[in-house]
Amino acid sequence: MPTGPKGQKRPADVIGNAVRVMRIATGEEADDTPDDGKNPAAKELGSKGGKKRAANMSPERRAEIAKKAAAKRWAK
């Protein structure tokens, strides 16, 4: 069974998928997107955290972290 980009199951055939999309659009069938179990407010704050951390960091520290990450990637 093929899966979507986030792992959700979807029909193997194109016609079945089209029928499912039509039923969801008309309200005959519920769009059963799986809940990831995470608090939406916490997800929102988490996405802001990296930007805030980068803004508070000195360019030298950012370069140091980038060099360390590059070394790990190239070590594989």
- Are the C-beta atoms of residues 17 and 10 closer than 8 Å to each other? yes
- List C-alpha distances in Å: 67 to 14, 72, 73: 46, 9, 10
pLDDT in tens, 32-59: 777 778 888 888 888 788 888 888 999 9
CA distance 70 to 10: 37
> What does the alpha-carbon distance between residue 13 and residue 21 come to, in Å, rounded to a whole number?
13
Which pLDDT belongs to residue 20? 87
pLDDT digits (tens, 9 = 90+) for 2-33: 667 777 776 678 888 899 889 989 988 887 77
> Which two three-digit tokens encode residue 37?
């179990």
